[in-house]
Amino acid sequence: MKEFTHIKISKKPVPFFESTTLIEPPMETKPFPINVFPDVVKAYIEESTECLNLVPDFIGVGVLSAVASLIGNSYRIQIKKGWTERPILWLAIVGYSGIRKTPSLDAAILPLQKIDKSLYLQYCEELENHKSQLEAADQEKPLAKQLIVTDSTIEALIPILKQNPNGILYFKDELISWINDLTRYNRGSAEQQWLSLYSNQPIRLNRKTDDDNFRVDSPFANVLGGIQPGILSNLFEDGRGINGFTSRIAFSFPEPIKRKVSYTTMAPLVAEDYENFIHRFLHLQKAENNAGQIEPITLEFSYPAQDKFYEWNETFINQPINDPNTSEAIKSALSKMEALMPKLALIMQFIENVGNQQREPKVVEIDAVNKAIELTDYFYAHLLKVFREVGLKTSNVESRELLLLKSFSSQFLDGQSKEAAIKNLLADGFANFEISKALSVPKSSVHYWSKK
């Protein structure tokens, strides 16, 4: 039986985000397993890395996102009766500025960008024809078809999803702007709607006029973007680390690779082959009901694949979740990994069949499951690295805040004035902003008392 990558669990129960959440994370981050892809994709990743100094992990993640977005609502996998998953992925690449995050993702989704541009030009042409024929007949306004959305509030996104029933890719160069959008107006509402999107649950937009009311029964929106390590903690703030929002994100956080001068250029045929590979997913068979809505075609595991899934599920998911010493952060992450793996298996099966110019698959085979396990192991290892980057910092801040409050309360009960207690805290090495945040005191007041 395969040994799956896991953390070493603490011998005592731990809260959600204390430093003991991660005891012994992997010392070396797993490289992206590009061997899961067919030769045409591997060649494109290797050439892009060699010729353009791009990051193979980030391109690989982008390829997964591109294929998943083109499959969209058309197919789903049934793990068992009552449990199905569609290939909805929230993927985040993590790296410092200058590591070439954006060029790497652009290389992966370039074919989608070209298709999206073509759809836009087609819409513009149809719209001009519509305007010219308004007087001649009562023509319906053409629908704005698109594959990629780069800037949209959730309110604006719902009508787009209505017009694009197979789904879209929500691509944000900097994912922090996605998080900022959640908090711009009504944080709770926007966040809950995105959680509904991830689960492919019906979503509705209600406005004063009937023309502005929308309901999307099976919304499909993948998310892809980059973020810098220094602001990773923003993803876990405002309860997102506890309510499962951040746990739905699969991270790629590779070690920096050394840049070098390259005198070679990518062979045109390599890029052309990759573009043709992606284009094959545009023409997947789709089933529609009488209302013109997409009805997903359901695939199941083959018997060997199903056995492999249950073996993995018991070892990788159930055993650590059932361990009372496993932290809540890890349990939350594992519960989402349980759904991620069959999604990846579905995607890998399509890559195997459609990418190699075969017919659409009828079942998900064991080879696709093995590749999905390898990818899930990769994303789990990189999640641990994110936890190490964020969790230790978070626990340090929380611990200092508790020490600060305990010291302040003790001095206050001993008869010290508020001003004197704060001066003592400053003398003990607590910073102005720490005291201000913990005691809800203006920074200017803390600064004033420090000078007295």
Furthest-apart CA pair in the chain: how many Å? 87
Cα–Cα distance for residue pair 189/180, rounded to 1 Å:
14
pLDDT at 186: 59
Cα–Cα distance for residue pair 113/117, rounded to 1 Å:
6
Say if residue 103 is exposed, middle or buried (CB neighbours under 10 Å; 0-12, 13-18, 19+).
middle
**Tokens 């991830």 found at:** 198
Residue 3 CB coordination number (10 Å)? 6
| Sign of the alpha-carbon dihedral angle for 125, 127, 132, 136 | positive
Q: What does pLDDT average to in each consecutive run of 10 residues of the chain (452 residues)?
A: 42 38 52 96 96 95 97 96 96 91 95 90 82 65 85 85 92 90 70 89 71 80 94 84 86 88 88 95 84 87 96 93 82 91 97 86 96 96 88 43 69 74 79 73 77 70
Give the dihedral of Cα atoms 223, 229, 234, 236; nearest 10 deg. 80
> Given phi > 0 = left and psi -120 to 50 = alpha, else beta, which region is 209?
beta
Cα–Cα distance for residue pair 413/193, rounded to 1 Å:
46
pLDDT at 297: 94
Q: Give the pTM.
A: 0.80
- Structure token digits, residue 210: 């009937």
Residue ranges in 213-267 assigned as alpha helix (H):
none
Helix (H, G, I), strand (E, B) or coil at 393: helix
Topology adopted by domain 19-393: Rossmann fold (3.40.50)
**Tokens 């011998």 found at:** 11
Give domain limits for the chain: 19-393, 397-451
Helix crossing, 328-353 with 56-71: angle to 10°? 70
pLDDT at 395: 36
CB hemisphere CA count around 166 (13 angstroms): 21
pLDDT at 5: 46
For residue 251, list its beta bridge partners.
92
Cα–Cα distance for residue pair 94/66, rounded to 1 Å:
18
Q: What are phi and psi of 294, to 5 degrees?
A: -70, 130
For residue 80, list its beta bridge partners.
83
Cα–Cα distance for residue pair 371/346, rounded to 1 Å:
10
Residue 108 CB coordination number (10 Å)? 26
Cα–Cα distance for residue pair 91/226, rounded to 1 Å:
9
